[in-house]
Structure 1
Amino acid sequence: MTARSANVHQARLLRLLRDLGPQSRVALGDRVELSRSKLAVEIDRLLETGLVVQDGLAASRGGRRSHNVRIAPSLRFLGVDIGATSVDVAVTNGELEILGHLAEPLDVRVGPVAVFERVLAMVAKLRDAGLADHFDGAGIGVPGPVRFPEGVPVAPPIMPGWDGFPVREALSQELGCPVLVDNDVNLMALGEQQAGVARSVRDFLCIKIGTGIGCGIVVSGEVHRGVTGSAGDIGHIQVDPAGPPCACGNTGCLEAHFGGNALARDAVALAEAGRSVELASRLEAAGRLTAEDVSAAASAGDPVALDLIRQGGSRTGQVIASLVSFFNPGLVVIGGGLTGLGHTLLASIRTQVYRQSLPLATGNLPIVLGELGPVAGVVGATRLISDHLFSPA
């Protein structure tokens, strides 16, 4: 029997052991509505399959001590988080603890074949380090809309050559295991739900601000993807009809104002106009500017850089405020590369949301930075595939 042939009770037990770690039979019985005899049958079946193992004696609660059980330590999941300008690859155990993690710069515009050659080379490095001789499943994140059932990117604005590429099928053949593919910000949301700031929250928004801007929507503990996989594509909400052109073909989108490329563009323009000595010196030294340069200039007290961050945060907060009024979440998590811009960005977003949304929606609404940083996506990827494998057949 494999994980995917588990019944509903076994699937629930597997998820509990994944999320809680080793548990006694008594503790598991307290969490699932099964008689002691039925629980014993289901656990014994899982032990027979090798999906769970005995793990020493549990603490005594009076009477005969029982054994702890845990997810088999031999289980291995692979998480791959492909961003616009970088890729992260990680191996976890069955409890989704990261055993090894690699990150490299990578331009997604080189196309799927070149990207997956690099990904497989990184996977080989992790295997060579002795972290895995097999994978029980893999989750893959890409920075664009995904037709989730087929694992295929759909018309991604910043991913030329990826439209319709069979990511799930191709990688499943290469890796020899089940594969699921999702949008990168959905995986960031799942990561924060699994091991980050959203652990106890059932309804929340996860905003990723990087080269692009997207939103993971979690409703009653489940990711909402929409009919065609484009739910949460907030970077292409128009914030200014007279604004700059966007990669999607429209004008004035949020992403065209405050994605990573937009921030670098505006910083260069201000440096060349002589508005910022700090930015101008960085431009002269490197020949280009990045979001990191804007962050460093702001940290040095440069008013122009600080103003760029405040304006971007305010526009982003304007969009988030509308989402909050519509969705009424219990938490808003902010993640992605541009969170390196720090407290100035977060404060600007908070100010706009609290000012614009109704008090009923914001009265007890935390708006916080994610806890997992660059590993949120790979943790979410392994959560995605383990949810699939630890579900009823």
Structure 2
Amino acid sequence: MDSATVPVVVGIDNGGTSNNTTVLTMDGRFLVDRLVETPSQVQAGPEAAVAAMADAFDGVLALTGVARELVRAVGLDTPGPASATGVISSKGSTNFSQPAWRGYDVRGALAQRLGLPVVYHNDGNAAALYAHHVYFGADAMRRSSVSAIVGTGLGGGLVENGRVIAGAAGMAGELGHVHIPLSEVLAPGQPVPTCACGFAGDAESLASLTAIERNLLPYWLTRFPGHPLAAEPPARAAKLVRGYGERGDELGREIFAQQARALGALFTVAANFTDPHAYFVGGGVVETAPEFRDWFLATVREHTMLRTEQAALATFALVPERDMAGARGAALAALEAVRAGPTAAPPLVGDATLG
């Protein structure tokens, strides 16, 4: 069947700098096989950002040759925290720092702009949903998983029986702000790290790009005096650490080993709350060379304390198509909503074809 005549849903992954979009047919085929990015304009405020989302929507339809009247719904994800209906937290968030974003109904604004139903998840939930359905396939509706998505902050998602656990206010799965035991994570004499949210010792205060800049790199540079990163501005130095780690640099490996231990501590907490079938890790921390990401995932697993019965059943894996996972997960959520309800069949994830 010609994909240009099949009804579709569109997924929009909104980030601090870019919108990434995809198109998913109602029979479960992605029509985009690569990143389709456009500027998100988030720092310009809500009105400009919603206009940018609408432009991204129009652009991906033009790219895939799909007529607008074939779109049945849109899936949107943004960085959290936000409510289940897409209202940004009253305290804002890392990417939505301007006062105008606080309490802003981003889902409702985009729905009004496009004149289409919009289904909302935060970005961690969207990526978690995609990882879950890709990994488990036909068994997705009978499996559970926990995902940690490491980026500027630390997102996460809980999936039970193939569906995201949103919580009463829509803020379940905010794994970055779970407090973790630090005794096995911090080095001797290392200060308790602080998070941008105001917490001290939560998972995001260690496992995020922001954590590298404000907590980890300042400490580890005192242990490696004369390291080249000491001469760089803090924000740039934090972004360069991953490359050093990939090349086996001792400081870089110390920092990422600490992040992996923090994720292991977080997954240990999750194991005692949800006892999932799978633990997924995604985000920039694993968008790296195979040797490095395999080492990182193995370190996370080593520091996740599971009971014998749990370890026999648990899987540790990377979020697939990591750059595209958010948009694809948002599209899957929209597809499920269109298919209408708790008795709907699980989404099918097929190969992408373009054009």
Corresponding position of 1:121: 55
Corresponding position of 2:352: none
CA gap 1:392/1:357 in 2 versus in 1, 3 angstroms: closer
1:363-374 matched pairs, under 5 angstroms = 363-374=312-323
CA gap 1:103/1:366 in 2 versus in 1, 3 angstroms: same
Kept in 1, the 8 Å contact 2:150–2:282? The answer is yes
**1:154 aligned to 59, 64, 89, which one?**
89
| Distance (Å, rounded) in 1 between the aligned partners of 2:66 and 2:249 | 47
Amino acid at match of 1:366: T
Kept in 2, the 8 Å contact 1:275–1:304? The answer is no
Corresponding position of 1:13: none
Deviation at 1:72, TM superposition (A): 9.2
- Render the CA deviation track for 1:74-115: whole Å, top value 9, x for unaligned: 212111112344421122322343324512465745432232
Unaligned 5+ runs, structure 1? 1-54, 56-69
Kept in 1, the 8 Å contact 2:153–2:208? The answer is yes
Deviation at 1:307, TM superposition (A): 0.8
Corresponding position of 1:277: 227
| Distance (Å, rounded) in 1 between the aligned partners of 2:153 and 2:136 | 22
Deviation at 1:379, TM superposition (A): 1.2
| Distance (Å, rounded) in 2 between the aligned partners of 1:314 and 1:130 | 42
Kept in 1, the 8 Å contact 2:19–2:56? The answer is no
Of residues 368-377 and 336-345 in structure 1, the stretch that sits farther from structure 2 once superposed is: 336-345
Alignment of 1:178 with 2:117, yes or no, is yes
Alignment of 1:75 with 2:30, yes or no, is no
- Higher Rg of the two aligned structures: 1
Corresponding position of 1:326: 273
Kept in 2, the 8 Å contact 1:72–1:94? The answer is no
- Render the CA deviation track for 1:246-295: whole Å, top value 9, x for unaligned: 221222221112211112343366458753635347x38x982234x222
3-state SS, counterpart of residue 237 of structure 2: coil
Kept in 1, the 8 Å contact 2:39–2:52? The answer is no
3-state SS, counterpart of residue 147 of structure 1: coil
1:275-314 matched pairs, under 5 angstroms = 275=225, 277-280=227-230, 283=232, 288-291=236-239, 293-314=240-261
Unaligned 5+ runs, structure 2? 184-190, 343-355
| Distance (Å, rounded) in 2 between the aligned partners of 1:93 and 1:171 | 21
Corresponding position of 2:345: none
Deviation at 1:299, TM superposition (A): 2.0
1:66-215 matched pairs, under 5 angstroms = 73-100=5-32, 101-104=35-38, 106=40, 108-129=42-63, 131-134=65-68, 135-148=71-84, 150-155=85-90, 156-158=92-94, 159-160=96-97, 161-194=100-133, 196-199=134-137, 200-201=139-140, 202-215=143-156
Corresponding position of 1:216: 157
3-state SS, counterpart of residue 91 of structure 1: strand
Amino acid at match of 1:197: Y
3-state SS, counterpart of residue 257 of structure 2: helix
Of residues 269-278 and 204-213 in structure 1, the stretch that sits farther from structure 2 once superposed is: 269-278
| Distance (Å, rounded) in 2 between the aligned partners of 1:130 and 1:315 | 41
Corresponding position of 2:347: none
3-state SS, counterpart of residue 317 of structure 1: helix
Corresponding position of 2:297: 346
Kept in 1, the 8 Å contact 2:41–2:52? The answer is no
| Distance (Å, rounded) in 2 between the aligned partners of 1:276 and 1:73 | 61
**How much is the aligned-residue C-alpha RMSD, in angstroms?**
2.8
| Distance (Å, rounded) in 2 between the aligned partners of 1:211 and 1:280 | 21
| Distance (Å, rounded) in 2 between the aligned partners of 1:387 and 1:381 | 10
Deviation at 1:169, TM superposition (A): 2.1
Of residues 363-372 and 122-131 in structure 1, the stretch that sits farther from structure 2 once superposed is: 122-131
Amino acid at match of 2:178: I
Corresponding position of 1:256: 205
| Distance (Å, rounded) in 1 between the aligned partners of 2:146 and 2:254 | 26
Deviation at 1:209, TM superposition (A): 1.3
Aligned residues: 318
Kept in 2, the 8 Å contact 1:211–1:260? The answer is yes
- Render the CA deviation track for 1:184-231: whole Å, top value 9, x for unaligned: 11111221233x223234211122111121321111222111111111
Kept in 2, the 8 Å contact 1:243–1:253? The answer is no
| Distance (Å, rounded) in 2 between the aligned partners of 1:129 and 1:358 | 49
Amino acid at match of 1:129: L
Amino acid at match of 1:364: L
Kept in 1, the 8 Å contact 2:50–2:109? The answer is no
Equivalent pairs: percent with the same residue?
A: 25
Normalising to structure 1: TM-score of the pair? 0.73
Higher relative contact order (CA 8 A, sep 6+): 2
CA gap 1:276/1:360 in 2 versus in 1, 3 angstroms: farther
